[in-house]
Structure 1
Amino acid sequence: MTDEHIDSLIPYDDVVQEALRAVVGRVLGDVAVNGLPGDHHFYITFKTQAPGVAIPVHLHERFPDEMTIVLQHKYWDLKVESDHFEVGLSFSQIPSHLVIPYSAITAFVDPAVDFALQFHVDAGESGPEPHEEAGNDEPTVLVEDGSNVVSVDFGRKK
C-alpha cells in the first residue's frame, strides 16, 4: 500500500455537508412550529454574498462577506422551507427581513448544549475575511470550546 492520496469519485464531502445542513433545517422547522425550548438559542453564521441570500442593503454594507445572527428572544416570522429559512430580526432598532439558504450557512451553534456544526465553504485561496457579529441588539459570545463541534472537510482539492 502506498501513501499516495486517492481522489474519490464519490463527492462524500458534498453529501455529508448537505445532510448536516438538513439538520439545521429540521431544527429550525421544529422551532418555527413549537418555539425555542428551554435555554436553547442559535448563532447562525452565513455568507452574505451567497446565491439566494436576501438581506437589507445596510446589512450588506456592514457585513460584506459574512454575518452571524442570533435566534433567541427578539425574532419573528420564522419560516422554514426545504432550501432556506426566513426570519425577522432587529438591528440597531431597525426591523429587517432576512432570507438565508442553507447552502450559505458556514456555522450553526447552540451554546445552551455546547453543540456546533461548521461547514466548508469555497472561498478562494484567501479564505473568508474577518467579520463583526451582528448580535441583533444583544451582545454575543460564540462557543469556542466545541466539545460537540462537527466540522466536515475531506481535503477537497481546489
Structure 2
Amino acid sequence: MTRGIDYGNLMHEAMRGLIRSVMESVAQNGLPGAHHFFITVDTGHPDMQMADWLHDRYPEEITLVVQNWFDNLTVDEDGFAITLNFGNSPEPLYIPFDAISTFVDPSVEFGLRFELQSEDDDDDEDEDGFDEAPMMEDAPSEEKSGEVVSLDKFRK
C-alpha cells in the first residue's frame, strides 16, 4: 500500500525554501527597511558550525539576531554562513536550514516554527523526526528564559 502524499515534509521543504530565498536576497541586497530576523537554531545539529566557546554556552539551541551588524552572508542549497557579533567578538557560523526551529521577522509580524516531536510520540511522525503538520505562526508563542524574546516588547 502506498503511503500517500507527505504533506508534512512538503510543507517543511517549502518553508525552508522561503527562508533560503529571503537569505539569498539579504546576501545580495542587505536588509531592507526595518526588517530583521530572530532565528532559533539547534546547536546540536551535526552540520552546525560554530566556535567551541559558543557551543559550550548554548549546547542545545541559540536564537540569533540578524539586524544591525552581520558580515560574510553566503547561502547554499543546505544552509547559510554568516558572521555575527557576540560581545564585540565577530564569530563565523554555518546554519543548516534543517537546524532552524524558528524564523521570525518581527518588523512585519511574520514567523515560521518547525515542530519537532519527541521519540515517544511517533504516531504521526515521519522519518526525519518532524510532525506531519508544521505550524506557522505570527511569532513564537512561548518565551524561554534568555533564549526567545517576546515580540510584544518590539511592537509599536
TM-score for the superposition, normalised by structure 2: 0.75
Counterpart of 2:116, as a letter, is V
1:143 pairs with one of 140, 151, 154? 151
- Distance in 2, Cα, partners of 1:144 & 1:9: 40
User: What number of residue pairs does the alignment pair up?
Assistant: 129
5+ unaligned residues in a row in structure 1: which ranges? 1-7, 134-139, 146-158
The yes-or-no answer on 1:11 pairing with 2:34 is: no
Deviation at 1:125, TM superposition (A): 4.8
Q: 1:88 to 1:57 in 2, by over 3 A?
A: same
RMSD of equivalent CA atoms: 2.2
In the other structure, the counterpart of 1:154 is: none
The yes-or-no answer on 1:74 pairing with 2:69 is: yes
2:146 pairs with one of 132, 138, 153? 132
Deviation at 1:95, TM superposition (A): 1.3
Partners of 1:77 and 1:87 within 8 A in 2 = yes
Counterpart of 2:79, as a letter, is H
Aligned ranges for residues 26-45 of structure 1 at < 5 Å? Answer: 26-45=21-40
- Distance in 2, Cα, partners of 1:90 & 1:53: 17
2:16 pairs with one of 8, 18, 21? 21
In the other structure, the counterpart of 2:126 is: none
Deviation at 1:22, TM superposition (A): 0.8
1:90 pairs with one of 67, 70, 85? 85
TM-score for the superposition, normalised by structure 1: 0.74
- Distance in 1, Cα, partners of 2:48 & 2:8: 23
Instruction: Name the SS of the counterpart of 1:112 in structure 2.
Output: helix
1:114 pairs with one of 100, 109, 114? 109
Which whole-Å deviations, capped at 9, do the CAs of 1:23-62 have from their partners, x for residues lacking one? 0010010000000000000000010011210011111111
5+ unaligned residues in a row in structure 2: which ranges? 122-143
Which whole-Å deviations, capped at 9, do the CAs of 1:51-80 have from their partners, x for residues lacking one? 210011111111110110011011100001
- Distance in 1, Cα, partners of 2:30 & 2:81: 15
Structure 1: 4+ residue segments shifted above 4 A: none
- Distance in 1, Cα, partners of 2:7 & 2:59: 30
Partners of 1:63 and 1:131 within 8 A in 2 = no
Structure ranking higher on relative contact order (CA contacts 8 Å, 6+ apart): 1
- Of 108-117 and 11-20, deviating more is 11-20
